[in-house]
Amino acid sequence: MRTFLITALILMLLPTAIIAQHLTRQEILDAEWQMKSLYWQKYQERNETSSAADQSDFDVKYWELDIDVTDIDNEIVTGVVTMTSEAVVDGLTEVDYDYHRDMVADSVKMDGQDVAYTHANNLITITLDRTYNSGEEFTTVVYYHGHPPGGGFGSFNWEYHNGHPIISSLSEPEGAREWWPCKDMPHDKADSADVLITCRDDLVGTSNGVLISNVDNGDGTRTFHWHSSYPITTYLISIAVSNYMEFTDWYHYSANDSMPVTNYVYPEHYDEAVEDMSITPEVIGIFKELFGEYPFLEEKYGHSIFHWGGAMEHQCNTSYGADLIWGNHYYDWILVHELGHQWFGDMISPDIWPDIWMNEGFASYSEALWTEQVGGFNDYLLYMIYSQPVYDPSGPIYDPDPLFDGNTVYNKGAWVLHMLRGVMGDDAFFEGLYDYATHPDFMHGTVTTQEFRQHMEQYYGADLSWFFDEWLWGMNRPYYEYSWMKEDMGGGQWEVFLHIDQLQDPPAPEVFTMPIRIYIEIDEVDTVFTVWNDTREDDWRFMVSGEPEDLRLDRYQWILRNVGTSSYDLNIVTTELHDGDLVHNYWAKVEARGGVTPYSFAVTDGSLPDGLEMNSETGVITGTATALGEFPFTVTCTDDDEDTDSQDYTITIYEYLDVEDDESIVPSNFALFSNYPNPFNNTTNIGFRLADRGFVRLEVFNLLGQKVESIHEGNLDGGEHRFSWDAGEAPSGIYFYRLSAGDRDITRKMTLLK
C-alpha cells in the first residue's frame, strides 16, 4: 500500500469534472472557493426568506422514509415520511417540519385520519389530532412529491455514468428538507430509522444500516428496505441508486466474529474499486485501537459510488466519488477521512453547526494518525506540515464563515488536535481521546466544543480555556522571534540565555499562551527543555553540560507558528524575585545579559518595599523590610551603548505569626520561594524559610483543587529548607504548591511540561 501526501482536503468538495482535468493545486483551490462561496450564498439566501421553525417542543424518536425514484426522466421523487416524536412540553398542538417550498405536500395523516397543515416558507406546520403533554408520543405521516431543487452541496442529484442512472443524496448541512419533510437539525437524532427505496428493477438502492429486504414488485420496480438501529441525525440519512456491482470484505473484530464491509461500485471500475477499498478493514482496526470499537458494529460499513468528485460520510454507508477510483490507492486519505467520520461526526455529531470542526477537524486529524500508524512518527509530522497546511487569515474555527472553510475547519481543526497532543503529552491526549469516543455521555449523541474541552481537561489535570480561547475562537497564529547566547560557567557547564518576542499583529491575539519545546544541540545531540510562554516578551536561562552548538525553537512543529531569529541584544534575564518578611535580611539580584557592559540598574516605576534598596551597578536588592504588603515596581537596565530593557516585578512582604495549637508548634513566620526550574520536566525544587522550629505542610494541588501529593508534613527547624518534587505520572499542566502552618498558608503556581 502506498501513502501519498495530498496537499489539502478541498478535493472532497469538488465535482467530478474538476478532478478529472488534473488541475494544479492552486486551480483546485480557486475552483473550490468559488463553488463554496456560491453554495454558501444560496444557503444563506434561502434562510433569509424562510420562516424560523419552532422545533424545541418535540424530540424525534423514529423516522421511516419510503421514497420512490422510478420517474427518472422527470426527476420526480414520491415519498411517505412517518415520524414518531415525543412532546417535551405540555399543551403541544402543532409542530413544524422543514420542507422546501418548491416541493409538494400532498396530505398529512395521524392514526389514519387527515389532519390540517400548511406549507409555506420552507415549513410544513401540522395541526396535531389532539393536545399532547410532555412525555407523550405522536406519529405523523406526510405524503409528498416533487423535483428536489438541489442546493447546499447538491442535496439530491440525478446523473448518468456510462449510460446508466445514478441517483444520490448529499444533505449536509441542511439539504435533507429539499427531498423529504424532516426536522433538519443535527442535534436531534432519531433513535432508529428505516429507509425504503423503490427504483427500477435493473438498479440497486443503498442506504444506511442493514438491508432487511429486497423485493421484486413485479411491475419493473424493486424495493430495498434498510434499517438503522443506531441513533442517526437527519443530514446523515442517504440514498444512492445505480446499476451497482457489489463486493464484501470483512472486518474481523474478534477471533470468531466479523462485520461486513460492503461496497457498491460501478461495473466499469469494479477491479480498481476492489483494490482501492481493500484497505478498509485494516483502517477500521487501526481506529479501533485509537478511538474504540467501530461504532456501528451490528450493522456494516461500506461505500456507495456516486457522481460527486469527493465523498460524504453517510452513516455506515459512505458516498464515494467515482473519480476517486484509480486502483492505485492514490486517494486512500479520503477513504480514511470518511471512515474517521464514523466516530467523529456520525456516532458523535455536532450539537449545532458552529461546532462543525468537531467533525471535519477530527476526520482530518484521523488521516494523520493513520499515516503515523502505517509510516511512523516522521511521516505523521510530514503529513501535518505538508498535507494539511494552514494559510492566514485562518479562524476562528468555531462558527467559521463560510461554514465549511477547508483551510480553517479541516486543516486548522486538525492542527488544533495536533497542538493539543503536544500540550497534553501522548499518554494524556490519547487516553482522553479514547475515553471521549467511548464515553456513554457522548456515544451516539451530540457534543459541543465546550463539552469536549471540559472532557479533555480531566486528562490534562488543569484548565484548557487558555488553549481553546486562542486557537478555537482566535485567529491566525503566533510569530515567534527568538535570540540566544551562551556563557561558559567552567567545569564543562554552560548557561544558555533565551529571549522570545511574539510579533504577530491583529487580528491574531496579542499573546499566544503556549508551552514551547527548546532544542539545545550539544555534540550533535539535542537536550530538550520546555518553556511556558505567556507574555509578549519572555526570558529563560538553562544550565547544560557541554558547549551548545545550536538552539532551535519548536524544531518538530508542535505549534502552528511562524518563527524567525535575531541577534541577542540587552535583556534582563531575572524574571521573578522572591518574597520577604519583616525580620530577615532580604537579598536578591536582577541580572542582565547581552548588549555592552557595564550595566546600570534603576527602579523606574513603582517602588521597592520600604527598607530595601537596589545597587545600581550590580542590580542587587538588599535590606530589611519595614512595611507589609505587595510592592509592584519596574527595573530598567541600561548598557554602555544606552540601550535599555525593563522588567516588571512584585515583592510581597509578610508579617510574623506567633501561634501555637494543641498538636504542634507553629513557626512564628515563614516564606515560600519560587520553585526552580519553572516550567519543569519532571522534577522541580521547592524552597521555603522558617523563622523558627514548627510544624508545616508542603502539598501540591492541580488546577481543579485536587491534592496531587503531600511532599512534607511534620516539624522542621528554623532556617531554609528545600524539597524536590518528582511529578511521576502526573500530566502536563499548571499546579500549585502550598506551604501551610496553623491558620496561615502561602500558595505559588508552577508549570509541569512533559
Would you give the end-to-end CA distance of the chain in angstroms? 35
- Cβ contact 166:240 at 8 Å: yes
Question: Does residue 10 or residue 275 have the better pLDDT?
Answer: 275
Measured CA to CA, the distance from residue 123 to residue 101 in angstroms comes to 7
- Cβ contact 600:570 at 8 Å: no
Is the pLDDT at 48 greater than 70, yes or no? Answer: no
- Cβ contact 380:371 at 8 Å: yes
Which run of H or of E encompasses 286?
Answer: helix 280-291
Q: What's the pTM value of the predicted model, to 2 decimals? A: 0.85
CATH 2.60.40.3080 fits 670-752, yes or no: yes
Mean pLDDT of the chain: 89
Is the pLDDT at 454 greater than 80, yes or no? Answer: yes
Domain spanning 53-243, CATH class:
mainly beta
DSSP string across 382-451:
HIIIIIS---SS---SSS-SSTT-IIIIIIIHHHHHHHHHHHH-HHHHHHHHHHHHH-TTTTTSEE-HHH
In three-state secondary structure terms, 10 is helix
Q: Is there a common fold for 1-51+250-475 and 53-243?
A: no
Burial class (CB in 10 A: 0-12, 13-18, 19+), 555: middle
Among 237-246, 251-260, 736-745, the minimum mean pLDDT is found in 736-745
What are 581's strand-pairing partners? Answer: 654
Is the pLDDT at 20 greater than 70, yes or no? Answer: no
Q: What is the pLDDT of residues 569-595, one digit of tens each?
A: 999 999 888 888 887 888 889 999 999
Among 152-161, 247-256, 458-467, 471-480, the minimum mean pLDDT is found in 152-161
Q: Which candidate, 100, 144, 139, places its Cα nearest to that of 123?
A: 100
Measured CA to CA, the distance from residue 206 to residue 226 in angstroms comes to 8
- Cβ contact 733:461 at 8 Å: yes
Strands 318-321 and 58-71: unpaired
Q: What is the pLDDT of residues 613-660, one digit of tens each?
A: 999 999 999 999 999 999 999 999 999 999 999 999 999 888 754 444
| 537 contacts: CB under 8 Å, gap ≥ 6 | 499, 500, 501, 502
Q: What are phi and psi of 132, to 5 degrees?
A: -115, 140
Is the pLDDT at 139 greater than 70, yes or no? Answer: yes
Q: What is the pLDDT of residues 69-86, one digit of tens each?
A: 999 999 999 999 999 999
Confidence band (pLDDT; 50, 70, 90) for 174? confident
Q: What share of the chain is helix, strand, coil (3-state, %, to 5)?
A: 20, 40, 40
At residue 339, the pLDDT reads: 98
Among 147-151, 294-298, 482-486, the minimum mean pLDDT is found in 147-151
Confidence band (pLDDT; 50, 70, 90) for 60? very high
Single-letter code of the amino acid located at 181? P
Mean of pLDDT values over 307-328: 92
* Per-domain boundaries in the chain: 1-51+250-475, 53-243, 479-568, 572-654, 670-752
Cell numbers that stand for 684 in this block: 522541580
At residue 46, the pLDDT reads: 58
Measured CA to CA, the distance from residue 744 to residue 657 in angstroms comes to 9
Q: What are phi and psi of 505, to 5 degrees?
A: -105, 160
Is the pLDDT at 748 greater than 80, yes or no? Answer: yes
Is the pLDDT at 153 greater than 80, yes or no? Answer: no
* C-alpha of 338 from chain center: 17
Domain spanning 479-568, CATH class:
mainly beta
In three-state secondary structure terms, 752 is strand
Among 43-52, 176-185, 279-288, 384-393, the minimum mean pLDDT is found in 43-52
Q: What is the pLDDT of residues 557-569, one digit of tens each?
A: 999 999 999 999 9
What are 695's strand-pairing partners? Answer: 715
Confidence band (pLDDT; 50, 70, 90) for 45? low
Measured CA to CA, the distance from residue 715 to residue 696 in angstroms comes to 6
Domain spanning 572-654, CATH class:
mainly beta
Q: The domain 1-51+250-475 belongs to what CATH superfamily?
A: Neutral Protease Domain 2 (1.10.390.10)
Rounded-to-10 torsion of CA 517, 522, 524, 528: -20
Confidence band (pLDDT; 50, 70, 90) for 49? low
DSSP string across 534-564:
-SSEEEEEEEEES---EEEESTT--S--EEE
Confidence band (pLDDT; 50, 70, 90) for 51? low
Q: Which candidate, 147, 106, 151, places its Cα nearest to that of 124?
A: 106
Q: What are phi and psi of 432, to 5 degrees?
A: -65, -40
Q: Is the peptide bond before 440 cis (omega within 30 degrees of 0)?
A: no
Strands 58-71 and 192-200: parallel
Q: What are phi and psi of 5, to 5 degrees?
A: -90, 85
Mean of pLDDT values over 687-694: 81
Tracing cell 497534553 back to the chain, one arrives at: 424
At residue 401, the pLDDT reads: 83
Burial 165-198 (b: 16+ CB within 10 A, else e): bbbbbbbbbbbbbbbbbbbbbbbbbbbbbbbbbb
- Cβ contact 302:204 at 8 Å: no
Mean of pLDDT values over 282-311: 95
Measured CA to CA, the distance from residue 374 to residue 364 in angstroms comes to 16
